[in-house]
Structure 1
Amino acid sequence: MEIAKDKWKKPILELIGNSKEPVGSWYIVNNFKKNGIEVSSATVGRELNELETLGYVEKIGFKGRLITPLGKKIIEDANTTLELDYYKNSLESLLSSHVLENFIMVLEARSAIERQTARLAAERITDEELAELKRCYANQQMHSSDRQSIAKDDIAFHSCIAKASKNKALVSLYMMLSTMGQQSELFEQLRHRVGDNYRTYHLSILEAIEKHNPDQAEESMMDHLQKLTRDVNQYWNEYMRKRKDGDGV
């Protein structure tokens, strides 16, 4: 259940989580009141019952409720979601812009993140994750051969590497950058012009990770993203020339 933006569940769960002793509805009502928030005991009681049903809190006899390990994880995940939403919103104008400098900045950000995810993936990837990465690459090959869109395949390939890095912060940062459609649409247009080059780069990255060679994985990833940067520049120059000449794009 998503509680990050829930009016009552998240603050109630946090209050319980901050207490070492079981707490009841009146304790919660009084704490809210101290912060200028009015809420009835009946409302808090309903929320507590729901939190208990979800397994986020447990009842300790007549003393009240304590947070469970699952509840603590839910709070941690909710706070992470809120933080990522803040940075996602602050980056949204950057990522949805058609300005060349903005695309280049996004690629610079991806380079900083993905050179490290590639290194860590080469060191930490499991057999199951490697099999999934190979499936992502095979899907890209198949869809590209059929002249279908590979935008989702591209994101799946890179996100699989990010997840294999076992670094949640890097995974979250990559996903923030990858889920903006404008980027995928631009790169899709680039792919149609440069042919199979991106598949070749992905194969090089895959082979380096399969060999558990972090240096080669990082180098292959950087080669890939530098190629993207060059293509963005070339695409933009052509776009601006055609617009200036009134030829359309």
Structure 2
Amino acid sequence: MVQSHDNVIYNILLFLKETNEPAGAGSVQRFLEKKGFSMAEATVGRVLRDMDYEGYTEKVSNQGRTISANGERRLRELEEMRWHDKWTEGFLDVFENTDKNYLLELLEARLPVETTVARLAALNATPAEIEELRGVVKEQERLAKSGSPVSALDNEFHRTLAAASHNQILEAIVELLRKKEEYGRVFEKIRRDAGHIYNSEHRRIFEAVEARDPELAELTMKRHIANLIDSVSK
């Protein structure tokens, strides 16, 4: 989420842009008050001076401040952040339920994304990323054999794999699809109830990536998600 300080900056920049004329601390403070911010005029003045220093605003003699070109760029950045947060919240609201149908829809969404991630990771992973994957797999196996929960490491494995794909869009999508940690715990319980003591499929995916075999990596990931779908369906 956009933090409160950024929210103040966003509203000030928006006000200056929409006003399209120099504005003083008093008029900015009154605008912020209407937006629900409780700030003294002196505090607003300090924020404006900080914004001058950052290059977001420009003083016009004693008439007040206007938004600068740098301020307009910052305003666009903050607008994008607000849009992204709102979109993410809306997306996650769809998956608030752990009902069977919701879980199946989530897995169906993951299937094409994560199979592509596995293929690209086999092609693009660096030696350091392969070693990181190896460490995650070993730790997950160790915990699973001792009966400890492994859902956190399940997420870590898939996020590490996404980073190793070196595709920022896919990495962001994987992060979004795995944002609800609760689902990892639900899937782990389903797999355990189905008789899977630990997820050996991660090791097969890792070995395919280590072998630089994109077709095998894609196939093993497809089987991994398909097995999850099958477990949830039953």
Please state which band the TM-score falls in when normalised by the shorter chain. Answer: 0.7 to 0.9
Q: Pairwise mapping of residues 33-112 of structure 1 onto structure 2 (< 5 A)?
A: 45-50=45-50, 57-58=54-55, 76=77, 78-79=78-79, 81-112=81-112
Do the aligned partners of residues 48 and 180 (structure 1) sit closer, same or farther apart at CA in structure 2, a change above 3 Å counting? same
Give yes or no for contact 1:95–1:177 (8 Å, CA) kept in 2. no
Q: 2:144, 2:8 → 1: CA distance? A: 48
Give yes or no for contact 2:123–2:213 (8 Å, CA) kept in 1. yes
Structure 1 consecutive aligned stretches of length 4 or more whose deviation exceeds 6 Å: 13-16, 59-68, 71-75
Q: TM-score, normalised by structure 2?
A: 0.72
Letter in 2 for 1:206: F
Q: 1:73, 1:166 → 2: CA distance? A: 27
Q: Shift of residue 104 of structure 1?
A: 0.8
Q: Shift of residue 175 of structure 1?
A: 1.8
Q: Pairwise mapping of residues 165-180 of structure 1 onto structure 2 (< 5 A)?
A: 165-180=165-180
Q: 1:219, 1:4 → 2: CA distance? A: 46
Do the aligned partners of residues 74 and 194 (structure 1) sit closer, same or farther apart at CA in structure 2, a change above 3 Å counting? farther
State whether structure 2 residue 226 is matched by structure 1 residue 220: no
Give yes or no for contact 1:137–1:203 (8 Å, CA) kept in 2. yes
Task: Give CA deviations for 1:211-247 in whole Å, capped at 9, x if unaligned.
Answer: 222222211111100000000011xxxxxxxxxxxxx
Q: How many residues align?
A: 220
SS of alignment partner, residue 6 of structure 2: coil
User: Which residue of 1 is the match for residue 195 of structure 2?
Assistant: 194
SS of alignment partner, residue 114 of structure 2: helix
Letter in 2 for 1:89: E
Q: Shift of residue 75 of structure 1?
A: 6.3
Letter in 2 for 1:195: H
Do the aligned partners of residues 140 and 50 (structure 1) sit closer, same or farther apart at CA in structure 2, a change above 3 Å counting? farther
Q: 2:123, 2:42 → 1: CA distance? A: 53
Letter in 1 for 2:199: Y
SS of alignment partner, residue 194 of structure 1: coil
Q: Shift of residue 117 of structure 1?
A: 1.6
Give yes or no for contact 1:96–1:183 (8 Å, CA) kept in 2. no
Give yes or no for contact 1:95–1:183 (8 Å, CA) kept in 2. no
Task: Give CA deviations for 1:29-77 in whole Å, capped at 9, x if unaligned.
Answer: 79x98xx98x998555422444577xxx259998899677xx968964x
Q: 2:81, 2:168 → 1: CA distance? A: 12
State whether structure 2 residue 135 is matched by structure 1 residue 138: no
Gaps of 5+ in 2: none
Further displaced range: 140-149 or 161-170: 161-170
Gaps of 5+ in 1: 19-23, 235-249
Q: 2:127, 2:13 → 1: CA distance? A: 38
Do the aligned partners of residues 2 and 85 (structure 1) sit closer, same or farther apart at CA in structure 2, a change above 3 Å counting? closer
Q: 1:60, 1:93 → 2: CA distance? A: 37
Q: 2:175, 2:157 → 1: CA distance? A: 12
Give yes or no for contact 2:151–2:185 (8 Å, CA) kept in 1. yes
CA RMSD of aligned residues (A): 4.0
Do the aligned partners of residues 98 and 51 (structure 1) sit closer, same or farther apart at CA in structure 2, a change above 3 Å counting? same
Do the aligned partners of residues 47 and 196 (structure 1) sit closer, same or farther apart at CA in structure 2, a change above 3 Å counting? same
